[in-house]
Structure 1
Amino acid sequence: MVYSTRYTSPLGTITLACDGEKLVGLWIEGQKYHGGTLSEKMAEMNDVPVFDAAKKWLNRYFAGHKPAISELPLAPIGGDFRQGVWNILCEIPYGEVITYGDIAKKMAARMNKESMSSQAVGGAVGHNPISIIIPCHRVVGANGSLTGYAGGISKKIKLLELEGVNMSRLFVPAKGTAL
C-alpha cells in the first residue's frame, strides 16, 4: 500500500508518498510524471511518522537551512541505472550545480564503461520521484542552461536561489524541448 499526504510549500502544494516506513515520492503540483513510479493508487493518510519527518525536513529547507538527505528514509522506485543517477544527485552539495555530462561521466566510471549518454542521464534525472530532497534541480546543461526540471523552470530557479547558487552564468533557454 502507498500512502499520501499534502504539504503546502512556497512552490505550491506538494504531494508526499510513502510505503508506510520510507518516502517513495515527492511531487510538486503540476509536475511531469507525478506519481509515475508508483504501480498502485495512493491512499491519503496523514498520520504516518515518515510524513512528519519529511514535513519537518521541508520546513527547515524552505527556511533556508540545509538538512541532510540522510535524515530521511528514502526508497525511490526505479531500476539500477536510475538509482545510480539518483545516488549521484544526492552527492551534489547545497549551493552547487552539476551538468548532465558530469553525471554521465560519473555513471560511466561506476559502471566501468568508457562513456555514457547525457540523454539517458537526463531521462533518469527527469523521472526522479523524490524531487527537492533528491536534488535534481541542481542539474544544468553544459552551457549553463536551466533546462529539464519536471516541476518547471521557474520552480527550479526558486530552489537554486534559495540554496544560494551563483546564478550569474545560468540562463533560461529561449526555446527547447525540456522547458
Structure 2
Amino acid sequence: MEPAEDEQTVDTGEPADGGEPAAAAGDLLPLGQAAEIGDYTITVNGLNLDADDAIAEADEFNPPADGRYVVADVSVVYNGAEEGNPWMDLSYIFMGSDNAQYDDGTCMAIEENSVVNVPTLNTGGAADYSVCMDVPVEAIEGGSFAIEPLFSLDESDRAVWAIN
C-alpha cells in the first residue's frame, strides 16, 4: 500500500534486498572495543585530543600543527593469510565536527611509536602504535575517529570510535 501524498515515511534501516541494515550514524564504538577491519582486528585504546606538547617532545624538528595534533593509540592483530603492514593497509581518519575528514596524511610530524615503524606482520602478528592527525581546533569537540582499509570506497568497511 502506497502512503498518502501528505503522509511521512520512516526509513527503518532495513535494506530492500533483505541484506544487513546500515549502521546508524550514532553507532560509535567506545574506546577500547575491538573491530574487524579488512584482515585486521583493531582496537583504538585512546585518543589524545591535545597532543601538541607530546609531538614537540617526540622530535625537536616536528613543525607546529596548523590546528591541533590529535594522536590515536592503536593495537592491531593481523588475521590475513599472507602478510600485513598497518601503515600501508589502513587509513586513519579524524572525522571533524565541521563535517570534514582529517587523515594521518595531514600530520607532517613524527610521533613517538609511529605506525611507520611497525614491521610487516605475519598471520597472528600484533603491534601497538600511534598515528597523528592535524585537526582544526574547532572541529575536534563532537568529532569521531575512524579506521578503514586504505583503498576502500565502501563506508561499511569503516569502524568508527567515539572520541571520549
Q: Structure with the greater relative contact order (CA < 8 A, sep ≥ 6): 1 or 2?
A: 2
- TM-score class, shorter-chain normalisation, is under 0.3
Structure with the higher fraction of residues in helix conformation: 1
Structure with the higher fraction of residues in strand conformation: 2
**Larger of the two Rg values belongs to structure:** 2
